[in-house]
Structure 1
């Protein structure tokens, strides 16, 4: 295994695990403020899908050489990730948590409705391509599209209910 491949895969694993810790902390804080969760039923499916994506990267990519062009694009996506998470602050979580406060409209949310989902779509393509795993990018793009169709529908329904109240 090349050192660059090991570092890349290690980064993805550490990043995703640390995000779960941050999300759990933020979710607890939001729920303590009176927020509530919607769409909890699909959450385990989403976690399983993302876990399978990472497993495919590790299992099928650990002997592959890193494509530095794709890696550069992945690095740009990480800058966007920091911007998105920084813009949401303590309201960022991996769950759909509804808080009866105005939506965040700063940072990328000033320009896009779902910048984090768009980022994840890009990462699901770009990360496998760093390791030359086009088929992983394709399979998980289709699975993620189905997941986002469900998730965004649930989110929009919850927000419409909130606005109507």
Structure 2
């Protein structure tokens, strides 16, 4: 079963790196269409948060004994659901999905798919990922600390995003 944990961890690393590559391609596409970037000053906080998140999981996993319990399977089910919701967010936004705040002048915000129901669904999904993923690895301190840190970063990010959307008009 330990191989399963390494597969999940590897999947997550490759997924996040792939998403950064996708975000960079989308950023280039958006900038070519006149997009303006906002909130650049806090972007590094996301990089630091997510980098230390994975390091923290790895450290806790390596320094604690691990025993598969029913909690693993509940967390795995939640993780799979969160991945489906994550893909829904990314596919709904298409080329406008990004890890940065980019506004294309004259384009309306997307209000279809999951965005028809929730204003910032990806941030909610990431919050729960930061809670659920560590549980898969028995990294309970990480599961308590990083969702809270994510909320602190969002206290800066969401107002910056809302201001950028207001400037669009």
User: TM-score, normalized by length of structure 1?
Assistant: 0.94
- 1:82: which partner in 2? 87
- The alpha-carbon deviation at position 45 of structure 1 amounts to 1.6
- 2:148: which partner in 1? 142
Indicate whether 1:23 and 2:23 are aligned.
yes
Stretches of structure 1 lacking an aligned partner (at least 5 in a row): none
- The alpha-carbon deviation at position 65 of structure 1 amounts to 4.7
Give the Cα separation in 1 of the matches to 2:9 and 2:145: 19
Stretches of structure 2 lacking an aligned partner (at least 5 in a row): none
Cα RMSD for the two superposed structures? 1.4
User: TM-score, normalized by length of structure 2?
Assistant: 0.92
CA contact (8 A) 1:20 1:94 kept: yes
Indicate whether 1:151 and 2:157 are aligned.
yes
Cα gap change, 1:106 to 1:138, in 2 (>3 Å) = same
CA contact (8 A) 1:5 1:65 kept: no
Query: 1:62-115: per-residue Cα shift (whole Å, max 9, x none)?
Result: 564551210111001101111111100000010011112011111100100001
